[in-house]
Structure formats: C-alpha cells, structure tokens
Amino acid sequence: MHFSDSVKDIRKRRNIVLLWFPIGAIADIVIIELYKAIIGVPPHWLFILVNIGWVAVYFVLAMRISKILCPECKESALRSQPWISMKNLRCHRCGYRFK
Ligand SMILES: [Zn+2]
C-alpha cells in the first residue's frame, strides 16, 4: 500500500495504465513478428498467450491505482480503473480531495 496525497503521483500511475494499451499492442505484434522471422508460422497458442499477457499486465498496472491509500481515512482511495478525472480527484470512501 502507498500513501499519497499527490495528484501528480496518481496521474503518473494512471498514465502508465493508459500507455500500456498501445505499448502492449505493439509489443504483442513485435513478439509475433519476431516469432515469424526466427521460427516461422506462429502457433495459435502464442496469440492467446501474448493477449493474456497484455491483459494481465493491464490489471496489475490498474491495481496499482487502487493501492493508493487515502491520507485521511487510511483506506484504498481509488478504484482500480484508469478512467478517472484528475480535475476533482477525491477519495471514494470519505471524500478527501487530493492536492
Ligand atoms: Zn478517504
């Protein structure tokens, strides 16, 4: 768990999650293309594996958002989803406003 009252810190974690979408997709394509270049036709399970990896990394990164503790109520302040507004960032339990 991580205490933070900094919107900057929360924004950084959120942006990492949002950046993972295109970066993860590109990484998946690179893995498939490398497999094709080195070994040959990729097996079906490789597509499934890279997609599961992409989603798994997303969830791990998104959970980092929910690990941020509210300095006021000492509970998890945010839900683990990246679609949060940074303009009026509040603890969803007690309403503490992050600075
Ligand atoms: Zn709170």
What is the mean pLDDT of each successive set of 10 residues along the chain, which is 99 residues long? Answer: 74 92 95 97 96 95 90 88 82 90
- Count of domains forming the chain: 1
> Ligand 1 centre from 24 Cα, in Å?
32
pLDDT of residue 5: 60
- The torsion of the CA quartet 72, 78, 82, 86, rounded to 10 degrees, works out to -30
Write out the residue range of the structural domain in which residue 98 sits: 1-99
Residue of 17, 21, 92 whose CA lies nearest to 61: 17
> Ligand 1 centre from 90 Cα, in Å?
8
> Ligand 1 centre from 54 Cα, in Å?
31
pLDDT of residue 35: 97
Which segments within the chain are labelled E, that is strand?
Answer: 2-3, 68-69
Q: Which helix (H) or strand (E) holds 4?
A: none
pLDDT of residue 1: 58
How many Cα atoms are found within 13 Å in the side-chain-facing hemisphere of 13?
24
> Ligand 1 centre from 53 Cα, in Å?
32
pLDDT of residue 2: 63
